[in-house]
Amino acid sequence: MTADTTEPAEYTAGPAERRREQRGWYFYDFACSVYSTSVVTVFLGPYLTSVARAAADAEGFVHPLGIPVRAGSLFAYTVSASIVVAVLAMPLVGAMADRSGRKKPLLAAAAYLGAAATAGMFFLAGDRYLLGAFLLIVANASLSVSMVLYNAYLPQIAEPDERDAVSSRGWAFGYTSGALVLVLNLILYSGHDSFGLTEGEAVRICLASAGVWWGAFTLVPLRRLRDRRLGPESRGGDGESAVGSGWRQLRATLKDMRRHPLTLSFLLAYLVYNDGVQTVISQASVFGSEELGLDQTTLITAVLLVQVLAVAGALGMGRLARTYGAKRTILASLAVWTLILVAGYFLPADAPVFFYCLAAGIGLVLGGSQALSRSLFSHLVPRGKEAEYFSAYEMSDRGLSWLGPLVFGLAYQLTGSYRDAIISLVIFFVVGFALLARVPVRQAVEAAGNPIPDRI
């Protein structure tokens, strides 16, 4: 983008201009959430597990890089590895964005790299588990990087009292697109014979179509969002110098964050409880298919139910936050998450109705807990450091959520039981609840130099 089309960092748009940018911003959730839903939550876990089992030895192990890995743990370990890659990339990209003021080109690069990797999953057939693992790592890491840049727009396009609602609408857009595409996936998958496709071909088409969708709808935010020009004191020079000093900027960011210990306290709490949320999302279909013996159609229908209820849940919890405050609403959602995992441990096998009840509970708290966490954090970010601080947030959201999948995979590898793996995640919600309860959020907002909303 040329300099004459870039707005100053301190530019405050009028209501009409803000709404236009907000509508464009919502559409990135609409674009990329299909990957999270169709690929990570529904299809890739069971499918990659089956591909790994096709390549496994007589004891059920595959050997990537010579390391013995139980085929049933490969997906969880790959998710964990993808997050480690994201950890290395996200701080660098966040620093580049804040130094150059050009978030949009970086958002485009990350989005289209992830979309291309997802579309490439069409070629995941036979025993190509290494290809599947590689594409998952690239797509997951790209999504995490793009979300750093996407989330960093929130403080720039929404006034403080708007952010809970704007963030919740973004999640609602994402869950709406996820539900729509899952309906199409369900039609294709359940009727694959009538379309002249094998079951595996139908799955690979569903995987690849998520990449096409992601790339197509990313065009909307790229047209509507604006880059903000930095002042001379914040400008980092050209792209090359920003890259060269990215890690030095990261160290400076971490040093600066020590000046805001309450913001760090929130990030620690979020890191812990969101690790549990992300692991439940990514491993639910594996738990349903491998432990409960549910077929793919049941899993798709259950996740579709999650998507539909998550729209209502995100909007409903946004309304609750206006009455009770975001912090109290998030704490209530964490208590519900704990009850959901305990119920999941006792779910009987081959009982779709009980699984649907569990899915309904997840849907009602999933969108709201994520949306309110994002909007709450936006109040704790010092002005002018949005992308850098949201890179730390995204490391908590996705980048440092490697521990949950690792614990899940290790629990299964050691016990051979997905029930033991799922119940091990309770600790993330209990500890996260305790840490968040101790954060004085009003004091944290004031310490960051931001106006305090009426309810927080």
Taking only the tens place, the pLDDT of each residue in 236-245 is 444 444 444 4
The pLDDT of residue 136 is above 90: yes
The pLDDT of residue 159 is above 50: yes
419 vs 282, residue with greater confidence: 419
The pLDDT of residue 173 is above 50: yes
Q: What is the mean pLDDT of residues 87-103?
A: 78
pLDDT of res. 322: 85
pLDDT band at 401 (very low <50, low <70, confident <90, very high): low
pLDDT of res. 435: 95
pLDDT of res. 249: 60
Q: What is the mean pLDDT of the chain?
A: 84
The pLDDT of residue 112 is above 50: yes
pLDDT digits (tens, 9 = 90+) for 304-357: 888 788 878 878 888 888 889 889 999 999 999 999 999 999 999 888 999 999
pLDDT of res. 368: 81
Q: What is the mean pLDDT of residues 222-235?
A: 68
Residue 229: beta bridge partners? 8
pLDDT of res. 5: 39
Residue 189 CA, distance from chain mean position: 25
Q: What percent of the chain has pLDDT over 70?
A: 88
Q: What is the mean pLDDT of residues 138-157?
A: 89
Whether the Cβ atoms of residue 99 and residue 245 lie closer than 8 Å to each other: yes
The pLDDT of residue 200 is above 70: yes
pLDDT band at 415 (very low <50, low <70, confident <90, very high): confident
The pLDDT of residue 133 is above 70: yes
Q: What is the mean pLDDT of residues 75-101?
A: 81
pLDDT of res. 250: 60
pLDDT band at 246 (very low <50, low <70, confident <90, very high): low
Q: What is the mean pLDDT of residues 251-262?
A: 77
pLDDT of res. 204: 96
Q: Which two tokens stand for residue 66?
A: 């010579």
CA distances from 230 to 101, 380, 391, 420 (A): 6, 21, 18, 51
Taking the whole predicted model, whether its pTM rises above 0.85 is answered as: no
Distance between CA atoms of residues 364 and 317, nearest Å: 9
Q: Among the listed ranges 42-46, 161-165, 190-194, 331-335, which one has the minimum average pLDDT value?
A: 161-165
pLDDT of res. 340: 93
The pLDDT of residue 218 is above 90: yes
377 vs 390, residue with greater confidence: 377
Whether the Cβ atoms of residue 366 and residue 310 lie closer than 8 Å to each other: yes
DSSP-derived 3-state class of residue 434: helix
pLDDT of res. 134: 95
Q: What is the mean pLDDT of residues 187-214?
A: 95
Distance between CA atoms of residues 283 and 290, nearest Å: 11
Distance between CA atoms of residues 64 and 247, nearest Å: 31
Within 10 angstroms of residue 183's Cβ, the number of other Cβ atoms is: 15
pLDDT of res. 44: 92
The pLDDT of residue 303 is above 60: yes
**Which residue type is seen at 293?**
G
pLDDT of res. 314: 79
pLDDT of res. 256: 76
Element (H, E) at 61: strand 61-62
Q: What is the mean pLDDT of residues 89-106?
A: 80
Burial class (CB in 10 A: 0-12, 13-18, 19+), 370: buried
Q: Please provide residue 8's backbone torsions phi and psi, each rounded to the nearest 5 degrees.
A: -60, 155
The pLDDT of residue 132 is above 90: yes
pLDDT band at 31 (very low <50, low <70, confident <90, very high): very high
pLDDT band at 115 (very low <50, low <70, confident <90, very high): very high
